[in-house]
Amino acid sequence: MEVWSKSFELIPNCSPTRDDVAHLKNIMNGKNFLRKAYCIPKFIKKKLKNAEISIYEHALIRWNKRVGPHATAEELSTIIKQLIRLNRVCFAGDDYGYIDNDILFIYEWTGNKEISIVTFYGRISMNICLQNFPELRRYNKSKDVQLKLDLSAEDLKKQAFPIIPFRVIRYFINWKRYELSIYVINDEKISIFIEQGEGVNIVQILTEEDMLQTCKEYPEIEKYLYLDT
């Protein structure tokens, strides 16, 4: 059995709620999040390893007007870097991508190991016009239309940061891939469990009791609950 286990840096004042975990679980349904090819094309996969993420000032302004909640450049850089490791940043085109299939951004390579976020267009969940970005970009260039993508102050306050688990364990058994993403909510652990294989793509939420049962079924992974590989 091959096991991959990593801890992640939690962002201050960004503690997830049960609703946040349930929302992320719904996003993951039907997507092969364990298969890096889904989110990261081969031509940039090698570059991404240990890449630094810089946030242009324009991008920070756009985040705080179009995406929310209010953030600093350092917070966004840390969050995006960790989301890339979690296969939750999809580089869909040569210069644009999505965070959690929702937040649309423009990027560029500013060094062999540095990605710079040029701007954020917004959240697809809040602006449906962003759903087909290539078509929107062509239309915007041909018509020279000024898009109204800023959110109201009220809507910005309702937004939440992409949640980060404190640990993720991936393991591979008999041609199946499994992932356990563990989150801490008010000192209680809750996780999203993914099982993928031929014709199988199951995503479910596990309680602490469920996680203990999983460890009983696969005792080899129990030690990795607190150990990096």
- Could you tell me what percent of the chain has a pLDDT over 70? 90
Please report whether residue 101 resides in a domain: yes
Same domain, 110 and 153: yes
Same domain, 152 and 90: yes
- Distance separating alpha carbons of residues 44 and 112, to the nearest angstrom: 10
- Distance separating alpha carbons of residues 89 and 83, to the nearest angstrom: 6
Count of the separate structural domains present in the chain: 2
Of 121, 140, 158, which residue sits at a domain end? Answer: 158
pLDDT tens digits, one per residue of 74-115: 999 999 999 988 889 988 878 999 999 899 999 998 877 789
Burial environment of residue 89 by CB neighbours within 10 A (0 to 12, 13 to 18, 19 or more): buried
Domain that residue 170 falls in: 1-34+164-229
Please report whether residue 44 resides in a domain: no
**pLDDT of amino acid 70:** 95
Please report whether residue 40 resides in a domain: no
69: preceding bond cis by omega (within 30 degrees): yes
pLDDT tens digits, one per residue of 160-207: 999 999 999 998 888 888 899 999 998 899 999 998 888 888 899 999
- Distance separating alpha carbons of residues 210 and 199, to the nearest angstrom: 24
Angle at 137 between CA 101 and CA 159, to 5 degrees: 35
φ and ψ at residue 155, rounded to 5 degrees:
-70, -35
